[in-house]
Amino acid sequence: MDPLAAGGVDRRGSGVTAPGALRAATGCHGVRATARIVAESDGRGRTALPVLAGEGPLALRRTRATGPEARVIIVGAMSAPLGGDRLAIHATAGPGAVLHIGSAAATVSLPGRAREQARYDVTLAVGDGAELHWLPEPLIAAAGSDLRMTTHVELAPGARLVYREEQILGRTGEQPGRLTTRLTVRLAGRLLLDQQLSFGPGAPGWSGPAVLHTHRAAGQLLVVDPAFAEKPAQIRVLSDDEGEAVLTPLAGPAALASAVAPDGLRLRRLLSASVAP
């Protein structure tokens, strides 16, 4: 992530470790860091956060919220992920909780001294009657980087999910790095969605007309809601000079919007328009 905070807590040792010192201490082997979020209903119509623990480049901040939800922002305490880094976020919304998770800025995947692939693993669990909104800013694959990002989501019956991911291939005026993502979602133990995408150098056909063609931004917005069981989403196609998007119902109470666009701003507009009433 872009460096926004002055320092981070190194929970493998004691005290506060400056980002530069943490990166220097890990040398060419990369940073290992895991952030954990647990949200629970407090029994009074609000959501408590009994666990809010960041580590290394993954700093967590609770922000002001209204109504029953709790809001958490992920703040990049140092540049990450770089080659060889191993980052992870585990977030759980217990039964009846409402949790919104976002990020303060885009995450930029960068090349590092280690010639290894970086890993970023996200695990989300949503209990019965709970609601989780995962709405981070885009992931940018800078030139020379190599990142594999996986997201595993486990939903209990009656859970609600709004999940957005956006990938930008290269910063302005540069070639993209290598980016592979996989999203796996299970509802009540049954597979709802399992999708892998791969872009950048070495990925077959990613820039061809069947995939991105001239576009350099891709994303998806997944909505899981029990209300879709009674009234499924209708197929919707959006196509103009700003890109293309399609909204499709899934085999479950869910709908998936997928879009490609020339840049992140137009990608966000397409994703939002595809799920608008």
pLDDT for the residue 112: 86
Q: Which residue has the tokens 């623990």?
A: 53
- Report, as an integer, the average pLDDT of 83-101: 97
Asked if residue 169 has pLDDT above 80, the reply is yes
Asked if residue 230 has pLDDT above 70, the reply is yes
What's the pTM? 0.88
Percent of the chain exceeding pLDDT 90 equals 73
Q: Sketch the domain layout of the chain as residue ranges.
A: 8-215
pLDDT for the residue 77: 86
H runs (alpha helix) in 36-188? none
pLDDT for the residue 26: 54
Q: 163 has which bridge partners?
A: 134, 222
Token pair listed for 172: 């302005």
Look at 26-30, 107-111, 140-144 and tell me which has the smallest mean pLDDT: 26-30
Give the separation between CA 50 and CA 41, rounded to whole angstroms.
Answer: 10
Q: 151 has which bridge partners?
A: 122, 183
- Report, as an integer, the average pLDDT of 235-240: 88
Q: What is the pLDDT of residues 14-50, one digit of tens each?
A: 333 445 555 545 555 789 999 999 999 999 999 999 9
Q: Is the link from the previous residue into 226 a cis peptide, with omega within 30 of 0? A: no
- Report, as an integer, the average pLDDT of 118-132: 98
Which of 84, 166, 163, 169 is closest to 131 using CA atoms?
163
Residue count (the chain):
277
Give the separation between CA 35 and CA 136, rounded to whole angstroms.
Answer: 15
* 235 membership: H or E segment, kind and range: none
pLDDT for the residue 227: 93
Q: What is the pLDDT of residues 189-227, one digit of tens each?
A: 999 999 999 998 888 878 777 778 788 999 999 999 999
pLDDT for the residue 7: 32
Token pair listed for 195: 């999708």
- Report, as an integer, the average pLDDT of 228-236: 92
Token pair listed for 126: 């949503």
Secondary structure (DSSP) of 9-27: E-TTSSSEE-HHHHHHHHG
Q: In Å, how far are 117, 126, 131 from 63, measured between CA atoms?
A: 33, 20, 17
Q: What is the pLDDT of residues 55-67, one digit of tens each?
A: 999 999 999 998 9
Residue 242 binned pLDDT confidence (cut-offs 50, 70, 90): confident
Quick one: how far is CA 38 from the chain centroid? 17
Give the separation between CA 129 and CA 157, rounded to whole angstroms.
Answer: 8
Token pair listed for 99: 């949790």
Non-local CB neighbours of 276 within 8 Å, separated by 6+ positions = none
